[in-house]
């Protein structure tokens, strides 16, 4: 090994750097080797892309502070640029990849080394997530996000990831220039300049930084698509006065360590956590050596829940030994009293703040709390609402959503400091209508009690002739009367389409059937054979079945063909018995439809956007022979900001009411249209 540039004692380098040569002996690229594992540093790679063996995640090395492979195959690491032609290139790269970043390096000024820890400590001590915005070497805006001792670096396209991981409040609108020359955030444009970076940093810290109160949990769960379960786990234990951190993929090995009382004291005695794909089984040991169910926890299908939901489950007081990590949402009714009425009102001292008042069903003083997405989520988890209703408030606390999971009808209201008193009264009436009926006072509420009727428009006596309803408009309905005993009605019902020849063709509640039936119709519709292949992606999946209808490739040989920019067509991905994804791809743009989430990606390098739930109801073609996806109203509203990017991929989106009200007929692919005699 070549000597390092300093005579000071250095830790022995465990990662070895070499230069890969071509057939003529010319240097091509750097390689890094740890034991028998070798990675190649390809042009444009970031460290996340290059670290294919997860050396950092496994704790074998420390992650570099900055890393990028330049177009000439030079490596820029920790602020130092290393060229292939440098005689000491391998030694320099080994030094940078193996060094520790906690101590100040000799070549940095003392002031710089002392300021960084202080800044990090200041960020960790704050009660809100903090952002820092700077320009990179290419003049693009880069965002640093600090939450407790966690730091995340991302570009503008990665802001969607911060939102999904609850590190940033969701803005009403966000658009990034294709070349990242500027970005729009809620109608305000921030240029890629020093002044734009300062303005964006101030805006993120003032308007989009979520509170850290109660966020840090003893057991943390994060999304990781590369893990077999889809999640990473992190927890810290204290043994003999020293802290020990455990992190990595959520595996049975990590769960065994978590529930081993000789190594970890975070769980209640006797708690058993066992992975049985696709379920996480939670049991309690009995004195006789057997196991029993926890009444609060059925088997958890971890592929159908989010990271934050799984984190709340593992930190629940019935599983956790203590609640040092802050408040967690309870599951089931618990000690939550029956609520007869909910009122949304302005705070008496500050009219810009909205509060939620809950009136007990059996007397007593009403309880008040701030109208925030945290408090609404706590009420949803405590079981005060009807089980088929999903009540949520957006992260910016401005959009109230009441989704009926049975009929897939959604009511949405915008609530902010400009909302009228009439709309506040209407929001309270909708929340009251969503409550479970109060149980008799002489007995506790029963989880098996029959639920009230779904929150859906009445179907009796529909108007005979009325214009099509505006999709997604929840504010067009009449004002609802206040009070718990007054008849509560949701917004005005949609027109009656029962006489339409296409009425009743669109199923709901069975996304796997929709995906399979649409794909079944594609091959005979376009005269293209179905390719049934088994493909693998190293360290992700092996021999996964794909059914493919390709308009561009006569034969699909690898997963790179499906995910490449040249593929055009449809395919089914058989991920599990409960999950079969239907995918439309057109030259780098992808639209994926799954039973519990839908994903769109406008290019191979763009960050994917995720819609929680199923959204596909059918498929048609318009007069231009473009594909028209028939979707639910909730999906239609979600896709609206992204819709323009997919018009170039011959993809459009429409709801069933819009389809039935369209003056120009569409050519249905599925559901199959009725015959001409029937119509």
156-166: per-residue pLDDT in tens?
888 888 887 77
Query: 31: pLDDT confidence band, cut at 50, 70 and 90?
Result: very high
Which secondary structure element, helix H or strand E, spans residue 254, and what is its range? helix 252-258
> In terms of pLDDT, which residue wins out, 137 or 314?
314
Query: 149: pLDDT confidence band, cut at 50, 70 and 90?
Result: low
pLDDT at position 331 is 34
In terms of residues, how long is the chain? 679
Half-sphere exposure of 126 (CA within 13 A, CB side): 17
Q: Which two tokens stand for residue 420?
A: 């009228």
| Residue 277: partners with Cβ closer than 8 Å, 6 or more residues away | 228, 229, 576
pLDDT at position 485 is 39
Residue 311: DSSP 8-state: H
Question: What is the percent of the chain where pLDDT is above 70?
Answer: 77
DSSP string, 657-673: HHHHH-SSPPEEEESPP
**Whether 583 contacts 571, CB under 8 Å:** yes
Q: Kindly compute the dihedral angle of the four CA atoms of residues 25, 26, 31, 37, in this order, to the nearest 10 degrees.
A: -30
- With 0-12 / 13-18 / 19 or more C-beta atoms within 10 angstroms meaning exposed / middle / buried, residue 295 is exposed
Query: 678: pLDDT confidence band, cut at 50, 70 and 90?
Result: very low
pLDDT at position 532 is 94
pLDDT at position 242 is 56
**Whether 371 contacts 356, CB under 8 Å:** yes
| pLDDT for residue 478 is more than 70 | no
pLDDT at position 457 is 35
> In terms of pLDDT, which residue wins out, 217 or 610?
610
Q: Which two tokens stand for residue 577?
A: 């018995």
Q: Which two tokens stand for residue 86?
A: 């440098």
pLDDT at position 119 is 43
| Residue 320: partners with Cβ closer than 8 Å, 6 or more residues away | 218, 219, 266, 267, 268, 314, 328
**Whether 633 contacts 613, CB under 8 Å:** no
Closest listed residue to residue 653, CA positions, set 618, 612, 613: 618
Work out the average pLDDT over 80-95: 88
| pLDDT for residue 146 is more than 80 | yes
Averaged confidence pLDDT in the chain:
77
| Residue 216: partners with Cβ closer than 8 Å, 6 or more residues away | 148, 325, 326
**Whether 546 contacts 534, CB under 8 Å:** yes
Query: Among 65-69, 286-290, 584-588, where is mean pLDDT lowest?
Result: 286-290
Q: Is the peptide bond before 671 cis (omega within 30 degrees of 0)?
A: yes
CA pseudo-torsion sign 543, 548, 554, 559: negative
Q: CA 299 → CA 114, 246, 378, 390, distances in Å?
A: 50, 25, 21, 20
**Whether 399 contacts 415, CB under 8 Å:** yes
**Whether 314 contacts 259, CB under 8 Å:** no
Backbone dihedral angles phi then psi of residue 104, each to the nearest 5 degrees: -70, 135
Model pTM?
Answer: 0.33
**Whether 317 contacts 334, CB under 8 Å:** no
| Dist. CA 60–CA 372, nearest whole Å | 41
Work out the average pLDDT over 106-112: 38
**Whether 32 contacts 97, CB under 8 Å:** yes
Query: Among 60-64, 150-154, 252-256, 428-432, where is mean pLDDT lowest?
Result: 150-154
Q: CA 545 → CA 533, 549, 576, distances in Å?
A: 6, 14, 10
Assign residue 67 a region: left if phi > 0, alpha if psi is -120 to 50, beta otherwise?
beta
Q: For 595-630, write each residue's pLDDT tens digit.
A: 989 999 888 878 888 898 889 999 999 888 889 999
> In terms of pLDDT, which residue wins out, 500 or 404?
404
Work out the average pLDDT over 180-196: 89
Query: Among 3-7, 183-187, 314-318, where is mean pLDDT lowest?
Result: 3-7
Work out the average pLDDT over 537-556: 88
| Dist. CA 195–CA 2, nearest whole Å | 44
pLDDT at position 337 is 59
| Residue 31: partners with Cβ closer than 8 Å, 6 or more residues away | 17, 18, 19, 20, 38, 39, 40, 41
pLDDT at position 447 is 29
pLDDT at position 48 is 82
Query: 216: pLDDT confidence band, cut at 50, 70 and 90?
Result: low
| Dist. CA 561–CA 23, nearest whole Å | 28
Work out the average pLDDT over 458-474: 36
| Dist. CA 667–CA 679, nearest whole Å | 14
The residue extents of the domains of the chain are 16-98, 110-207, 219-314, 339-433, 511-670
pLDDT at position 102 is 47
Work out the average pLDDT over 522-533: 90
| Residue 125: partners with Cβ closer than 8 Å, 6 or more residues away | none
Work out the average pLDDT over 66-79: 86
Q: For 260-319, write each residue's pLDDT tens digit.
A: 887 787 888 888 999 988 889 998 887 777 888 876 677 888 887 888 888 888 888 888
> In terms of pLDDT, which residue wins out, 605 or 389?
389
Question: What is the percent of the chain where pLDDT is above 90?
Answer: 14
| Dist. CA 101–CA 105, nearest whole Å | 8
């Amino acid at each position: 090994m070549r000597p390092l540039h300093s005579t000071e004692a250095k830790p022995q380098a465990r990662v070895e750097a070499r230069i890969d040569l071509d057939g003529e002996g010319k240097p091509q690229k750097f390689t890094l080797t740890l034991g028998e594992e070798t990675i190649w540093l390809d042009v444009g790679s970031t460290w996340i892309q290059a670290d294919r063996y997860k050396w950092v995640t496994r704790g074998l090395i420390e992650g570099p502070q900055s890393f990028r492979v330049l177009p000439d195959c030079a490596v820029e690491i920790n602020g130092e640029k290393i060229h292939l032609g440098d005689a000491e290139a391998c030694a320099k790269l080994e030094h940078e990849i193996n060094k520790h970043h906690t101590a100040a390096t000799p070549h940095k000024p003392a002031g710089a080394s002392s300021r960084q820890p202080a800044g990090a400590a200041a960020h960790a001590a704050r009660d809100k997530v903090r952002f820092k915005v700077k320009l990179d070497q290419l003049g693009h805006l880069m965002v640093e996000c600090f939450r407790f001792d966690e730091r995340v670096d991302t570009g503008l396209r990665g802001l969607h990831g911060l939102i999904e991981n609850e590190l940033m409040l969701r803005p009403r609108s966000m658009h990034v220039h294709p070349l990242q020359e500027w970005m729009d955030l809620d109608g305000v444009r921030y240029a890629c300049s020093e002044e734009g970076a300062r303005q964006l940093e101030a805006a993120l810290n003032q308007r989009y930084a979520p509170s850290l109160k109660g966020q840090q949990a003893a057991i943390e769960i994060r999304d990781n698509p590369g893990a077999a379960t889809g999640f990473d786990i992190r927890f810290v234990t204290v043994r003999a006065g020293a802290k020990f951190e455990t992190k990595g993929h959520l595996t049975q090995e990590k769960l065994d360590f978590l529930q081993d009382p000789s190594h970890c004291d975070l769980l209640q005695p006797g708690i058993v956590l066992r992975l049985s794909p696709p379920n996480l089984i939670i049991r309690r040991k009995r004195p006789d050596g057997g196991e029993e169910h926890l009444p609060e926890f059925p088997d958890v299908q971890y592929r159908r829940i989010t990271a934050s939901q799984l984190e709340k489950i593992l930190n629940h007081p019935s599983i956790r030994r203590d609640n040092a990590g802050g408040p967690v949402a309870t599951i089931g009714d618990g000690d939550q009293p029956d609520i007869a009425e909910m009122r949304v009102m302005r705070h008496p001292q500050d009219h810009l703040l909205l509060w939620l008042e809950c009136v007990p069903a059996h007397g007593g003083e009403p309880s008040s709390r701030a109208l925030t997405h945290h408090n609404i989520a706590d009420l949803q988890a405590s079981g005060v609402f009807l089980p088929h209703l999903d009540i949520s408030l957006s992260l910016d606390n401005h959009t109230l959503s009441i989704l009926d999971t049975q009929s897939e009808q959604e009511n949405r209201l915008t609530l902010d400091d400009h909302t009228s008193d009439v709309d506040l009264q209407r929001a309270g009436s909708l929340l009251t209508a969503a409550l479970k009926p109060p149980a008799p006072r002489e007995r506790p509420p029963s989880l098996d009690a029959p639920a009230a009727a779904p929150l859906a428009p009445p179907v009796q006596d529909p108007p005979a002739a009325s214009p099509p309803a505006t999709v997604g408009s929840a504010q067009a309905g009449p004002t609802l009367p206040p009070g718990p005993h007054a008849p509560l009605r949701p917004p005005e019902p949609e027109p009656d389409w029962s006489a339409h020849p296409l009425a009743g063709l669109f199923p709901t509640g069975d996304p796997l059937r929709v995906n399979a039936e649409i794909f079944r119709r594609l091959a005979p519709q376009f005269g293209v054979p179905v390719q049934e292949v088994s493909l693998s992606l190293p360290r992700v999946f092996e021999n996964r079945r794909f059914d493919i209808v390709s308009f561009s490739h006569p034969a699909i040989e690898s997963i790179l063909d499906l995910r490449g920019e040249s593929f055009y067509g449809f395919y089914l991905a058989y991920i599990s018995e409960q999950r079969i994804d239907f995918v439309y791809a057109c030259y780098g743009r992808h639209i994926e439809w799954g039973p519990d989430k839908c994903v769109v990606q406008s290019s191979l390098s763009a960050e994917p956007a995720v819609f929680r739930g199923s959204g596909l109801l059918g498929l048609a073609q318009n007069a231009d022979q473009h594909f028209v996806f028939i979707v639910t109203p909730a999906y239609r509203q979600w896709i609206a900001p992204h819709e323009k990017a997919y018009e170039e991929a011959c993809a459009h989106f429409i709801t069933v009411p819009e389809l039935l009200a369209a003056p120009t007929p569409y050519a249905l692919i599925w559901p199959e249209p009725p015959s001409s005699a029937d119509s």
